Structure 1
């Protein structure tokens, strides 16, 4: 077989049980990624009292965690290209679950910092692989929607963890450890692996058309059993096997420009959001709120996160993703600024809720937008490097925030965070390519295939 026609065969499939089971599995991985990502943030106020941890030490642990995220993102792109999307998703999820479990037994801020760096590497690696996997498995016309659906379910891990932390952290001097034990449950992702299929597009990119065709036939059989006869796919376009993608590939113009754009997107998103979510509990506690109240207020604000991802699912495939990202980023900047200008508990919760709502919507849109800017050869590398550089940028972010807080006060932190969101929105508005036309073209091709099958 010269061509397995993976893209066209997958794009013409109706959504079926196969897609829903895949969605459930990816959502589970996302749930514990989002559950674990702010574990240190919600336990840090307690550690300040128990271990005498300083704001600067919180900054160093947070900064090094983002170095771990960068390493994880880069390694993930290599693993996903070498061993496949499915295996990489399993390995990275088990990795972060294991080191979250080891965090339970940390004995000082240094040991906890080491475990959090390794956990963060796994969290970021899993995210990169999941974004690529969803992009390659779901039909082009609805992949943005299902990327958002996965995050709608997964993002519930954030408020759930915050509420658990608000309940268990104040109980005793050791109960903060339960937050990390909770995050370690992501390791149960292994229960889903037998229900997942390797990406046929990955097999095809390696020139293994026979294996790609085998997996495609398995998927098509499952879908046809649930939905009936399938329409004929569009005719294939012969492609040469994709060689290993070296890092210098990203210096080519067709890859360099989207990589630079996405780096700006993820740098501003990372500093903008984690500057808020990683620091809000600690800064509120430092400003006089009790540990219990600071964690509880932040827990209430995170309830907006699932709603934001759901909002993204409503708009992501209906409008140009670029402009949705610009609009969401602008709203986040405004709400984040207002959050920092008040000490009224009600307004803190309201504006924090809106920040979480629109930021998680922004993230869902970004996850769908990023892989669309690359072809199969450059997708894993370009997505991994740009996402990793975004996470690496926040190695400096916490140090900047700590310096701003110590020198100029609480409100200057939120002015800085709002500025990063504005910068990202402007760059996307000016340089961001549009992707909706290409998605619509694939959708039309799929509908034409259905019409031909029906004899229209």
Structure 2
């Protein structure tokens, strides 16, 4: 018998101050993750002039950063399983903040590239842990919505970074370093640590129901003090024993298919999104736009990102997630293609706005969808592997884009990006499992379904 019943006890909790503080903490980490992921892209046009960087060198730095993301995702899944979701979230957020700070003091392309690889490892690792943490802490009925809310707040880091970069990068030959200093403010996450609770589901997965019960009692006391007496939880019977997650486990039939499907989803998302966001400022500069105007245009387009995440919050728990992903992916492909076919500044901003809006909606829903395809035992490893493989794919993505640009021109880059998004949308339409209204798989098969 499950002594702690984390599933039933967490799912019957009303949203309270505890949940809202948790949301703010995760959103803060997301904010500086999204702020930091674009810092190299926003400073690259300046470094082309200062250090004489070429398109191919930008491609190599970007590619190596995604190798770092892959390593970070794999390590994150191990840390989250071994040391807990809360500790892993803290460690990974501090990690990327430290190496963003180190980037401020880089002295050439090699040193900056090395710091960016280490920063990227932390960024990807934090994302994997945050996705899992939210899915395990929030009630089943609203976890999709609150995953999206975290992105709504967090994604504001993207336009904030671009707008800051557009102001400070042109000031002098050293002011680009301030962009990396901005990204390092993620270190302030440490002030949230004392307000967070470890996931009771993680304790259960480690065979520690007493520790799970202790944390559940703390959470229940906080919620009941604010909301009054709590309803009785639905009893859940444990039907499997805790075990150690291993790579071999993902070869089992029930884990292999979701791992492959999610890997494809994250591969197309990674190449499609970062192929656009990492290259847009530099490619516009190559097409004759000034550094200042290219960075400013891209900054304006990223204003659509928070709106896309808010849109995801509206649809995440209302419509089937796989079909939301298909619609978003198709809309991104069309908008991105039109972006590449125009050189009119107004149209560049308009279609770029749509790309950012639909892409952030896609990502927010994907963050909710990914952990739902695994049970607690495999959730960290399966999410980390599939997300990491997606990030690893972009080790070759920038090289493909550089080859396309150098070989056949600007517009071929956006045709390739649009085709990538369509591959992901078609795969999800044909093979994606439905998760709306279904339980988040735990050590049990009987978690109450989310209310819709």
**Correspondence 1:185-196 to 2 at 5 A:** 185-196=185-196
Aligned pair 1:310/2:310, yes or no? yes
Between the aligned partners of 1:367 and 1:127, the Cα distance in structure 2 is 9
Deviation at 1:238, TM superposition (A): 2.3
Q: C-alpha distance in 2, partners of 1:57/1:2?
A: 55
CA distance in 1, matches of 2:343, 2:63: 27
Runs of 5+ consecutive residues of structure 1 not aligned to the other structure: 448-456
Alignment partner, residue 378 of structure 1:
378
Aligned to 1:131: 131
1:443 & 1:6 partners in 2: Cα distance? 12
Q: How far apart, in 1, do the equivalents of 2:257 and 2:390 lie?
A: 15
CA contact (8 A) 1:69 1:124 kept: yes
Give the number of equivalent residue pairs: 447
* Structure 2 match to 1:95: 95
CA distance in 1, matches of 2:131, 2:238: 26
**Take 1:105 and 1:11, find their aligned partners in 2: how far apart are those partners?**
47
Q: Which residue does the alignment assign to 1:291? A: 291
Give 1:242 deviation, angstroms: 1.5
Q: Which residue of 2 aligns with 1:402?
A: 402
Provide the secondary structure at the position in 2 that maps to 1:170.
helix
Consecutive aligned runs of 4 or more in structure 1 exceeding 4 Å deviation: 439-447
Counterparts of 1:445 and 1:230, CA distance in 2: 18
Counterpart for residue 360 of structure 1: 360
Q: Deviations over 1:242-297 (max 9, x none)?
A: 21101111100100000000001000000000000000000000100000000000
Aligned residue in 2 for 1:391: 391
Matches within 5 A, 1:137-156: 137-156=137-156
Q: Distance in 2 between matches of 1:276 and 1:396?
A: 14
Report the Cα offset of residue 2 of structure 1. Answer: 4.6
Using structure 1 for the length normalisation, give the TM-score.
0.97
Establish whether residue 319 from structure 1 lines up as the match of residue 319 from structure 2.
yes
Q: Distance in 1 between matches of 2:368 and 2:97?
A: 25
Distance 1:352 1:333 in 2: 11
Structure-2 separation of matches of 1:384 and 1:131: 10
Mapped pair 1:11 → 2:15: no
| Range moving further from structure 2, 206-215 or 431-440 | 431-440
Tell me if 1:347 matches 2:340.
no
Query: Which whole-Å deviations, capped at 9, do the CAs of 1:216-237 have from their partners, x for residues lacking one?
Result: 0000010001111100011121
Q: Following superposition of structure 1 onto structure 2, how do residues 249-264 of structure 1 map, counting pairs within 5 Å?
A: 249-264=249-264
Deviation for aligned residue 1:335: 0.1
CA deviation string 1:24-58 (max 9, x = no partner): 00000000000000100000000000000000000
The answer on whether the counterparts of 2:19 and 2:138 sit within 8 Å (CA) in structure 1 is yes
User: CA offset at residue 150 of structure 1?
Assistant: 0.3
- How far the C-alpha of 1:239 sits from its partner, in A, is 3.9
Q: Deviations over 1:62-82 (max 9, x none)?
A: 000000000000000000000
Q: How many angstroms apart in 1 are the aligned matches of 2:394 and 2:25?
A: 29
CA distance in 2, matches of 1:331, 1:439: 29
CA contact (8 A) 2:140 2:450 kept: no
* Deviations 1:143-200, CA, capped at 9 Å, x for gaps: 0000000000000000000000000000000000000000000011000000000000
- Structure 2 runs not aligned, ≥5 long: 441-445
Q: 1:446 to 1:337 in 2, by over 3 A?
A: closer
* Distance in 2 of aligned mates of 1:73 and 1:85: 14
Are the aligned partners of 2:405 and 2:413 in contact in 1 as well (CA < 8 Å)? Answer: yes
Query: In the aligned structure 1, how far is the partner of 2:164 from the partner of 2:296?
Result: 10
Q: Give CA deviations for 1:86-130 in whole Å, capped at 9, x if unaligned.
A: 000000000000000000000111100000000000000000000
Q: Give the conservation status (yes or no) of the 8 Å contact 1:4–1:209.
A: yes
CA contact (8 A) 1:234 1:446 kept: no
CA distance in 2, matches of 1:306, 1:445: 25
Contact residue 159 and residue 300 of structure 1 kept, 8 A? yes
2:443 matched residue in structure 1: none
CA distance in 2, matches of 1:238, 1:33: 36
2:235 paired residue number: 235
Change over 3 Å in CA distance of 1:445–1:168 after alignment to 2? closer
